[in-house]
A and B are shown apart, each in its own frame.
Chain A
Amino acid sequence: MSFWETITGSDLTREWKAFEVRAAALPPDHRAAWEQIKSHLFLYGDFTGRNLMPIFDGALGLLEETAADGQSIHDVLGDDIEGFCAALAGGEGARTFRDRWRAQLNRNVARKLGRLGG
């Protein structure tokens, strides 16, 4: 049984459907990224989806929020979606990604505050 069947065939269905409703509201690029993130994260979910749900939720929240801000998908995820997903799930390279996210946070703040100051 695939992960997809496991989760769609279980009590997680409703929660999962809510995710898809939210994803459908995303702009095309962000929706495409969601599909990619799903397929990569599924690699981690060969036994149960439950423990991955908050991770999916966080990824979707990130996409929603950056879409609302008009940020491009590349700005958000970078080139390495596979690595990004591994990091989300705490897999290999998670620490490197955390460092990258940290740097990204400071860079974004500096850029946006700079723009604000004129």
Chain B
Amino acid sequence: MGIQDIIEGKRQWRAHLARVKALPPDYQIVYKEIQRYYFKVGPLELTEGDLLSGLVDFFEEGAAAGKGVLELIGDDVAAFADGLIKDSRTYADVYQESVKQKPRK
């Protein structure tokens, strides 16, 4: 499974992106930057949960209520992004654990 298949297959992924595109511009910017951040950090929720689609749900609600995106999540976007993956393990964690289990010769 790949990141592009996050939401069960490419068609859903495209539908997901269409939802992102329907958001107001400020929301789109913040969504994209958060997604990019998650690609680097690599939380397991990216592929195993509904982290991104849940985020779009939340953004759609905020936009529908007529709020600006920073009004909704605060100025510290990174703190918000980290809050969403607070207890989540990352691919790097999993990798590091596998290294410890199989020590190098």
Contacts and interface: CB of A to CB of B under 8 A. Distances in A.
Q: Do chains A and B touch in the complex (CB under 8 A)?
A: yes
Interface of A: 15, 18, 44, 46-48, 51-52, 54-55, 57-62, 65-66, 69, 87-91, 94, 98, 101-106, 108-109, 112-113, 116
A105 to B, nearest CB: 5
Across the A-B interface, the 10 shortest Cβ-Cβ residue pairs: A90-B92, A102-B78, A61-B3, A62-B39, A54-B91, A51-B98, A90-B96, A112-B29, A105-B37, A105-B78
A105 B33 contact: yes
29 contacts: A18-B2, A47-B102, A51-B94, A51-B95, A51-B98, A54-B3, A54-B42, A55-B42, A55-B95, A57-B3, A58-B39, A58-B46, A59-B39, A60-B3, A61-B39, A62-B40, A65-B35, A89-B95, A90-B91, A90-B93, A91-B92, A91-B96, A102-B81, A104-B37, A105-B34, A105-B36, A106-B77, A116-B25, A116-B29
Q: Is the interface of A mostly helix, strand, loop or mixed?
A: helix
A102 B37 contact: yes
Q: Is the interface of B mostly helix, strand, loop or mixed?
A: helix
B76 interface: yes
Contact of A105 (B4, B25, B77): B77
Contacts of A62: 36, 39-40
